[in-house]
């Protein structure tokens, strides 16, 4: 690699995905496009979102309630539009995925189904320092079951003076606590460090020992290739407003492995999960739809799902393999220009491309906030975490190698 504008431009020229940038609105300041490295927080707006939204608004305007049943794709089956692209993105069968609710809601719903303490097995193994919402969900979910989180949660931390987890430590912990574990549930990609976990190995270990395993894929979906079905993951959930670009608060999604489609799992149900052929009979006694659809509770948020669908099509069309290839190069180039910049920093994110997604988390040694402010002044949108962490996430759909080089230049002059 070379730390030069010419080199960055050559990489852009050779990038087979370069046309995808044009499918998004890039925010501007004073007429100049910002360098947006914040797709880990809120992905940019696909230009197709407005049209997708407008289409449903027109149906509502012209047909009112009939929109549920009329037209080419009635709202009644709006969730089905997303199944194919979602299945492709997370490595699932269409029956195993469904868009619904928001992430933390889905986490509680799936905990209800998959956390079945009993016969000495009561504990949930997770990683320490996971995203706060996940921590609060686990803590309070356990309390509603009459359990003390301090006893029932087994949190695995990185080793002293290491930022990230070693797969062997997670596998050993699962092995060691095999007789007391009722569930393994953790992020698939850590929001703070950018580490991607070896989900295949963790799922395999848990499965061998008969322990159900689930992943929060908020930072993994659309970022790294996933094979949830083949890995034998029992369940998963994610949000769509980060790397899936489905808009602020966009609809979440769930995965439930085919092996659990026999309707026997306990669940918190609502009418939208009821057997669709008989839903409007309004009869007593819950009969779930087959597959992930049977976890739906409520009338879908049609407008959000329409935008979600438009956004998913872009990611599915580009394909996770191609996106990942570019992503590794883009993030590798960012790491290279940062190291060349001379700015004293520690990169918390694993150095190996296999151990990370697109995000790099930088611990700035001196006045990190000043560095971050300089980035912002220069039109670079990253993300700041107290006390001294800058997270930068160049995304392969809409970021360029030239942008990465420009970010490096700002660090160089800091
Ligand atoms: C972004 C994120 C969330 C957010 O949850 P919402 O219910 O969508 O607000 C939760 N968990 C993780 C790991 C996240 O990265």
Residue 239 domain-assigned?
yes
- Within this chain, do residues 308 and 213 fall inside the same structural domain, yes or no? yes
CA-wise closest residue to 387 among 361, 370, 363, 411? 363
- Within this chain, do residues 328 and 237 fall inside the same structural domain, yes or no? no
Strand partners of residue 181: 123
- Which tens digit of pLDDT belongs to each residue from 341-382? 999 999 999 999 999 999 999 999 888 999 999 999 999 999
Ligand 1 atom closest to Cα of 131?
A: 13
- Within this chain, do residues 305 and 331 fall inside the same structural domain, yes or no? no
Of 317, 348, 381, which marks where a domain is finished? 317
Ligand 1 atom closest to Cα of 216?
A: 13
Alpha-carbon gap, residue 296 to 403, rounded angstroms = 41
Instruction: Give residue 119's pLDDT.
Output: 81
Residue 219 domain-assigned?
yes
- Which tens digit of pLDDT belongs to each residue from 206-264? 999 999 999 999 999 999 999 999 999 999 999 999 999 999 999 999 999 999 998 78
- Within this chain, do residues 284 and 402 fall inside the same structural domain, yes or no? no
Instruction: Give residue 248's pLDDT.
Output: 98
Residue 61 domain-assigned?
no
CA distances from 256 to 1, 176, 207, 261 (A): 42, 27, 15, 8
- Within this chain, do residues 177 and 300 fall inside the same structural domain, yes or no? yes
- Which tens digit of pLDDT belongs to each residue from 34-74? 999 999 999 999 999 999 999 999 999 999 999 999 888 89
Residue 29 domain-assigned?
yes
Q: What is the DSSP letter of 182?
A: E
* Binding-site residue set: 103-104, 131-134, 216, 219, 241, 271, 299
- Are 95 and 261 in contact by the 8 Å Cβ rule? The answer is yes
CA-wise closest residue to 37 among 324, 399, 378, 337? 399
Alpha-carbon gap, residue 321 to 301, rounded angstroms = 30
- Within this chain, do residues 392 and 298 fall inside the same structural domain, yes or no? no
- Which tens digit of pLDDT belongs to each residue from 125-148? 999 999 999 999 999 999 999 999
For residue 149, what is the domain's CATH number? Answer: 3.40.640.10
| 121 Cα: distance to centroid of ligand 1 (angstroms) | 27
Alpha-carbon gap, residue 235 to 47, rounded angstroms = 32
- Which tens digit of pLDDT belongs to each residue from 321-348? 999 999 999 999 999 999 999 999 999 9
Instruction: Give residue 263's pLDDT.
Output: 77
Residue 68 domain-assigned?
no
Q: Please indicate, yes or no, whether the overall pTM of this predicted structure exceeds 0.85.
A: yes
Alpha-carbon gap, residue 164 to 169, rounded angstroms = 11
Strand partners of residue 123: 181
Residue span of the structural domain in which 260 resides:
73-317
- Are 170 and 185 in contact by the 8 Å Cβ rule? The answer is no
- Which tens digit of pLDDT belongs to each residue from 3-35? 999 999 999 999 999 999 999 999 999 999 999
Taking CA atoms only, the protein residue closest to ligand 1 atom 14 is 218
- DSSP H or E stretch at residue 171: helix 167-176
Residue 34 domain-assigned?
yes
Of 317, 342, 371, which marks where a domain is finished? 317
- Are 315 and 255 in contact by the 8 Å Cβ rule? The answer is no
Of 317, 347, 378, which marks where a domain is finished? 317
- Token pair 């868009």 is found at 99
Alpha-carbon gap, residue 135 to 97, rounded angstroms = 24
DSSP track, 57-68: HHHHHHHGGGGG
Residue 51 domain-assigned?
no
- Within this chain, do residues 205 and 337 fall inside the same structural domain, yes or no? no
Mean pLDDT of all residues belonging to the chain: 96
- Are β-strands 123-127 and 153-156 bridged in parallel, bridged antiparallel, or unpaired? parallel
Ligand 1 atom closest to Cα of 252?
A: 8
* Binding-site residue set for pyridoxal 5'-phosphate: 103-104, 131-134, 216, 219, 241, 271, 299
Residue 261's region, left for phi above 0, alpha for psi from -120 to 50, else beta, is alpha
Residue 50 domain-assigned?
no
Other Cβ atoms less than 10 A from the Cβ of 410: the count is: 19
- Within this chain, do residues 286 and 403 fall inside the same structural domain, yes or no? no
Q: How many distinct structural domains can be found in the chain?
A: 2
Who contacts 354 (Cβ-Cβ below 8 Å, separation ≥6)?
196
- Which tens digit of pLDDT belongs to each residue from 378-398? 999 999 998 999 999 999 999
pLDDT bin (cut points 50, 70, 90) of residue 414 is: low
Who contacts 127 (Cβ-Cβ below 8 Å, separation ≥6)?
155, 156, 157, 165, 170, 186, 187, 190
- Within this chain, do residues 265 and 405 fall inside the same structural domain, yes or no? no
Alpha-carbon gap, residue 139 to 216, rounded angstroms = 16
- Within this chain, do residues 182 and 328 fall inside the same structural domain, yes or no? no
- Are 109 and 101 in contact by the 8 Å Cβ rule? The answer is yes
- Which tens digit of pLDDT belongs to each residue from 157-181? 999 999 999 999 999 999 999 999 9
Alpha-carbon gap, residue 124 to 273, rounded angstroms = 27
Structural tokens at position 410: 């700002």
Which protein residues are within 6 Å of ligand 1, measured from CB? Answer: 102-104, 131, 133-134, 187, 191, 216, 218-219, 239
- Within this chain, do residues 34 and 79 fall inside the same structural domain, yes or no? no
- Within this chain, do residues 290 and 378 fall inside the same structural domain, yes or no? no
């Amino acid at each position: 690699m070379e730390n030069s504008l010419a080199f960055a431009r050559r990489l852009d020229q050779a990038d087979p995905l370069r046309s995808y940038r044009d499918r998004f609105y890039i925010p501007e300041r004073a007429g100049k496009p910002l360098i947006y490295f914040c797709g880990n927080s809120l992905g940019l707006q696909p230009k197709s979102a407005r049209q997708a939204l407008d289409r449903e608004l027109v149906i509502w305007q012209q047909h009112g309630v009939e929109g549920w049943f009329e037209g080419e794709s009635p709202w009644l089956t709006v969730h089905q539009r997303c199944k194919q692209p979602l299945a492709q993105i997370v490595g699932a069968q269409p029956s195993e995925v469904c868009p619904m609710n928001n992430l933390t809601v889905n986490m509680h719903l799936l905990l209800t189904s998959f956390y079945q303490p009993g016969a000495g097995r009561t504990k949930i193994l997770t990683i320490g320092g996971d995203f706060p919402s996940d921590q609060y969900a686990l803590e309070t979910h356990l309390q509603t079951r009459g359990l003390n989180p301090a006893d029932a949660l087994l949190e695995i931390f990185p080793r002293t003076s290491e930022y990230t987890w070693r797969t062997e430590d997670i596998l050993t912990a699962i092995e060691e606590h095999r007789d007391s574990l009722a569930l393994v549930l953790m992020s698939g990609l850590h929001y703070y460090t950018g580490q991607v976990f070896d989900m295949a190995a963790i799922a395999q270990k848990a499965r061998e020992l008969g322990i159900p395993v689930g992943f929060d894929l908020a930072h993994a979906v659309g970022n790294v290739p996933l094979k949830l079905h083949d890995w034998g993951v029992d369940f998963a959930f994610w949000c769509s407003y980060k790397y899936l670009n489905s808009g602020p608060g966009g609809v979440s999604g769930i995965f439930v492995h085919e092996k659990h489609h026999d309707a026997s799992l306990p669940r918190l149900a609502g009418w939208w999960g009821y057997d669709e052929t008989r839903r409007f009979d309004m009869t007593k006694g819950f009969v779930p739809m087959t597959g992930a659809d049977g976890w739906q509770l409520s009338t879908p948020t049609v407008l959000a799902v329409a935008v979600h669908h438009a956004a998913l099509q872009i990611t599915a069309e580009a394909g996770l393999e191609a996106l990942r290839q570019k992503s590794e190069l883009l993030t590798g180039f960012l790491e290279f220009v940062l190291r060349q910049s001379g700015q004293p920093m520690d990169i918390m994110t694993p150095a190996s491309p296999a151990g990370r997604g697109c995000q790099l988390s930088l611990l700035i040694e001196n006045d990190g906030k000043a560095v971050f402010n300089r980035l912002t002044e220069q039109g670079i949108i990253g993300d700041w975490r107290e006390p001294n962490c800058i997270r930068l996430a160049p995304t392969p759909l809409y970021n360029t190698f030239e942008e990465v080089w420009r970010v490096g230049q700002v660090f160089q002059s800091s």
